[in-house]
Amino acid sequence: MNSPSKGFELAGVSVLYEEHPALLDFDLRVRPGEALAFVGPSGAGKTTALGLCNATVRPTSGSVSLDSEDLSEAANARLRELRARIGFIPQELGLIPNLRVSQNVLAGRLGHQGLFASLRPLLRAGSAELEKVLAILDRLGIGEKLFHRVDSLSGGERQRVAIARTLYQEADYLIADEPLSALDPARARETISLLTEVARENELGLILSLHDIELAREFIPRLIGLRRGRVLFDKPAKDVTEDELAELYRLEDTDRVS
């Protein structure tokens, strides 16, 4: 899984949404297997930064590359291959509520499969595939939910289904947008701990956006403070000072625009 790769490189990236800057002159390097989190107030550009990494957001200027390959120049088929290497858990999880847990997890490998190969798991999955899914669900503690419909699960269980899908995807990176936003404090701690642990076990690069600065400092080794589309700091979590955090979250009248 870990070929001699160089990871993500974003150089001089700016993203404008109809003249409104979401990110300005942004530089970032992510090494394989590294764990980092974007922190900062709403509207700072965290989600945009994540979107650049799986090419769902296109840079207005600058370049985004994975293992020295420019994402915005990749052709259709190649882009799919690259995206298949990058797991993604959006804020709302992106699960298919009226399908079973097994089908949702099996969907993780769609990017690796041709159209016809991907029809079978939707209609009738093979036992080998299901056993693999079950092993992952067991590891996450929700094995008994294998054939339950996702809309019958609790929020925490759904979160685990989303993580299971990324593990089944056998991705090299996991991008998660605000994975703790809808959880109570105890469950938030449990989830971030699970995420980092699973990432370490599977040698997944972990790229998160987090609003809970305390949990971010405790669990994520590298923090990138974003404010109004600019990098305020990019350093090991233990070196982030209180002054920097105060600056990061300082309220200004214009900041209330999300």
Partner 1 sequence: MSAEAFQRRPSSFSRRGRLLFALLLAALLSWISLGLSLEDLVPREGGRSILALFMEGALNPAFDYEAASVPEGTPPLLVKVAGAAANTLLFAIAGMSLSLIIGLVLGFLGSTSWWAAEGAVSPLGRGPLRKLMPLLYAGVRALIALMRSVHELLWAILFLAAFGLNNFSAVIAIAIPYGGTLAKVFSELLDECPRESARNLRAIGAGPIQVFLWGLLPRAIGDMSAYSFYRFECAVRSSAILGFFGYPTLGYFLRLSAENVHYREVWTYLYALIVIVIVLELWSTKLRARMVIR
Supply the minimum distance, in Å, between the C-beta of residue 107 and partner 1.
Answer: 5
The residue (of 101 and 223) whose beta carbon lies closer to partner 1 is 101
Smaller CB distance to partner 1: residue 26 or 88? 88
Among 20, 31, 58, 200, binds partner 1 (CB under 8 A): 58
- Rg of the chain in Å (alpha carbons): 18
- Cβ nearer to partner 1, comparing 176 with 213: 176
Q: Dig out the tokens for 225 from the structure.
A: 């403070």
Q: Does 179 bind partner 1 (CB under 8 A)?
A: no
Nearest to partner 1 of 26, 168 (CB atom): 168
* CB nearer to partner 1: pick between 61 and 152: 152
Select from 32, 28, 34 the least CA-distant residue to 11: 28
Which residue number, 111 or 156, has a Cβ lying nearer to partner 1? 111
Q: Which is nearer to partner 1, 17 or 236 (CB)?
A: 17
The yes or no reply on residue 146 touching partner 1 (CB under 8 A) is: no
Interaction pattern, residues 28-57, with partner 1; x per rule: CB under 8 A: -----------------------x--xxxx
Interacting residue with partner 1 among 23, 49, 66, 86 (CB under 8 A) = 86
The distance of closest approach from Cβ of residue 15 to partner 1 in the complex, given in angstroms and rounded to an integer, is 12
Residue 63's beta-bridge partner residues? Answer: 11
- The secondary structure of 54-92 as a DSSP string is TTSS--SEEEEEETTEEGGG--HHHHHHHHHTEEEE-TT
Work out whether 69 is an interface residue with partner 1 (CB under 8 A). no
Q: Among residues 180, 198, 202, 166, which one has the least CA distance to residue 83?
A: 166
Judged by CB under 8 A, the chain residues 108 through 127 that form the site for partner 1 are 108, 110-113, 115, 118-119, 122
Least Å distance, CB 210 to partner 1, is 19
DSSP element (H, E) containing 30? strand 20-30
Binding region for partner 1 (CB under 8 A): 51, 54-58, 75-76, 79-90, 92-99, 107-108, 110-113, 115, 118-119, 122, 149, 151-152, 169, 171
